Amino acid sequence: MKKFLKLLTKKENVAALVFLIVSYALVAVFSRYTPYLSALEGKSYDFMMSVVRGPEPTPKDIVIVGIDDSSLQQFADNFGWQFPWPRAVYAELIRLLNEAGARSVTFDMIFDLPSTPENDTALTGIIQASKIPVILGATQGIVEDARFTQMTEILPVQQLIDAGSKVGYATLNPGVDSVLRKARLSVNGEPGLALQTFLQSGRQLDLAKIPVDFEGNDPRILVHYVGRGRSISTVSFYQALDYQNSLPKGTFAGKAVFVGRSLKVQDISGGKSEADAFATPFDPGMPGVEIHANILWTLLSGKYTSESSPLETWLIILFPAFLITGVVVGAKSFRLKIIVALSVIFGWAIVASLIFIYLHHWVYTIQPLFMTLSVFGLNTLYQYRASEKERAVVRRALKGYVSSQVMDEVLKNHDQLQLGGAQVVATVLFSDIAGFSKISEKITPKELSTMLNDYFTKMGDQIMKRDGMINKYIGDAIMALWGVPLPNPNHALLGCQSALAMKRIVDGMAPMKARIGLNTGLVVAGNLGHIERMEYTVIGDAVNLASRLEGANKGFGTAIMISEFTAELVRDKLLLRQLDVIRVIGKQQPIRVFELIAEVGEPQAEQARPMVESFQEILDCYGQRDWGRACEVISKHLERFPEDSVAQTYLKRCKRFLETPPAPDWDGVYALESK
């Protein structure tokens, strides 16, 4: 419980919770009181409908008879008629559609004013005689006054209704951005054009089984558009009047026929000229009659698209926001945060698209995106500000006693830096120039300085290249660390690889030769020194042993000596030769030491392997105290490997033991006599 409370009260977690609440409130305010998010959400729906889902095949049971430019021109040229045309023309169309076997005819037109008696009689008579349903359009008119606004019903003239025509409301209500995505199936409880046409086909509509919302008491559905304008079969009005000669056979047979305008024409009631066209997800200007045909297609096909409920919407908004919050707070890598954030954003868009395509369900994408970006942005800004403060503190703490390379790494992972005395397992390297005093006697101070700077630069490059820290320079000596100030699971291997690289470089800098000692163990890492001038370093027996091993090379003529603790961690990847069991000055506990020769797989390792295997026989004889046999084995070994200084050392030691054997209780440990 305490751990949970501590986590809950952590400053960055509290800030993340605040940012989550603020972002949630912003989305709520923008969604509730501004049209912007709703408009963008509508655009995302348009994209899913028109691009992700795309156009569908042309419906086979709906045809549109369009009052278009061609028809206007034909009637003007042939009969001298200007729009609106005589109602006898529509009567003739109804007669012909009966003859052609149409299922129904629906007019997206409002015959609300009387015409000439002859024309009204002709239309009335044909409606009475029609074997197929005739649906006439109606709408709502708005009477505006300074004191009130009144809605009025604009219906077909009564004699047309009495003749047996059905009435369907042609009212269409675009959204706040003027795009028509949803359609009312009824107006004040009376069927719309598409619903009336659907009902006249003998079908019933169960609102409980389809996804609807309500505008007042009128149900609305998302229109399942087929595609752009004229995606539903459309013929010109004048062609329909001559269908036997102008159209393929069966054009109207068994089909619901819609009649309406497909361009700007004067309103049939004699009102002002207006465009009967609306923006849809597919088309910036689709004729109203085709929109009604698409509504009917939605009802006939049963391809309804449901929409997220308010509860579902808010849960959808919160889920990615919580996910992003967890990643931004928990992940240390900014790159990882960006990758996960983009993955969540694009992943949700893909999921929403798949849901839209396969489940016919519209889930919001813009509001979750807005929420996600808000949460990510606020948390990132907060962490950046906090990080900059911490970087400034770390720079002040480290300035003057670590290299710039280490400082940069510490600043990237400052939370892992522990100052003030932390116990860690690390690998320590000491390096010294053999015979430095003799070299310095033969050159001028300026030449010596140049030589040392060149040496330290080249050695330092190899150390830094392998994530090491140069802790200090002591005269001609170098002390380097791996595993501090930042943990590194490969510290022993990196230290050994650095030592081999350093040896290769020194071998090319004659007359210089280097001696290197490495040890791995528990150290105390932290600040030491005056409060005004501290130094970051490590202390402990492991550090002292590494220093002693560097000096122990002198007695064996080797270049790199490592302890058994380091050897245990790297023996599978490096070629080692056990040198001896020694007791260094200042320690009672003996330790096995090894010569580091090369990395496994390198040519040097394969060349040196026979020498290592041959030397093992020397150690076996030495351990059995068979000094005579040991001398013979060493002599044979030196015949094959005359440059092996370690074997030469053992030969001298064995000859001395032949003359003066060690005490009977001798434990085989060689005690170093100097540092």
**297 is a domain residue:** yes
Q: Which of 553, 578, 600 marks a domain boundary?
A: 600
Contact 130, 153 (CB under 8 A): no
Any domain includes 41: no
Residues 591 and 648 reside in one and the same domain: no
Domain of 474: which CATH number? Answer: 3.30.70.1230
Q: Kindly state whether residues 580 and 431 are assigned to the same domain.
A: yes
Answer whether residue 398 is part of any domain: no
> Cβ neighbours of residue 48 under 8 Å, at least 6 residues apart?
352, 353, 356, 362
pLDDT of residue 586: 73
Task: Classify residue 47: in a domain, yes or no.
Answer: no
Question: Which residue(s) pair with 593 in the sheet?
Answer: 563, 580
Alpha helices in 251-365 (DSSP H): 288-301, 310-330, 334-359
Question: What per-residue confidence (pLDDT) applies to 406?
Answer: 57
Neighbours of 385 (CB within 10 A): 10
Report mean pLDDT in 10-residue bins for the chain, 675 residues.
46 74 77 79 91 93 92 87 90 94 94 90 94 93 62 88 93 88 92 94 88 90 93 93 92 94 51 65 93 95 89 80 76 76 84 91 86 78 72 58 56 54 90 85 85 90 89 90 89 96 90 92 81 73 94 93 96 95 84 95 93 94 90 94 94 91 84 69
The three-state secondary structure class of 393 is helix
Residues 171, 99: one domain?
yes
Pairwise CA distance, residues 639 & 633, whole Å: 10
Is residue 168 a part of any domain in this protein? yes
**173 and 297 together in one domain:** yes
Q: Is there a domain that residue 375 lies in?
A: yes
Cα(273)–Cα(270) distance, rounded to whole angstroms? Answer: 9
> Is residue 50 domain-resident?
no
313 and 303 in a single domain? The answer is: no
- Please check whether residue 40 lies inside any domain of the structure: no
Query: Does the pTM exceed 0.85?
Result: no
Residues 156 and 68 in one domain: yes
Last residue of a domain, one of 550, 582, 600: 600
80 with 104, same domain: the answer is yes
How far is it, in rounded angstroms, from Cα 567 to Cα 575? 10
Return the structure tokens found at 190.
Answer: 């009376």
Q: Which of 600, 624, 640 is the last residue of a domain?
A: 600
Please indicate, yes or no, whether residues 272 and 233 belong to a single structural domain of this protein. Answer: yes
ω before 511 within 30° of 0 (cis)? yes
Counted domains in the chain = 4
Domain with 664, as residue range(s), is: 603-675
The strand pair at 469-474 and 477-482 is best described as: antiparallel
Cβ–Cβ < 8 Å for 385, 77: no
Structure tokens at 49: 């409908």
Is the domain of 435 the same as that of 489?
Answer: yes
Cα 470 to Cα 673: distance, rounded to the nearest angstrom: 29
Tokens of 620: 């076996």
CA dihedral 418, 421, 423, 429 (to 10 degrees): 90
Same-domain status, 592 and 627:
no
What does the block give as tokens for 47? 């994209």
Shared-domain flag, residues 476 and 589: yes
* Neighbour tally for 488: CB within 10 Å: 17
Pairing relationship of beta strands 104-107 and 134-144 according to DSSP bridges: parallel
Q: Are 484 and 592 in a shared domain? A: yes
What's the pLDDT at 3? 45
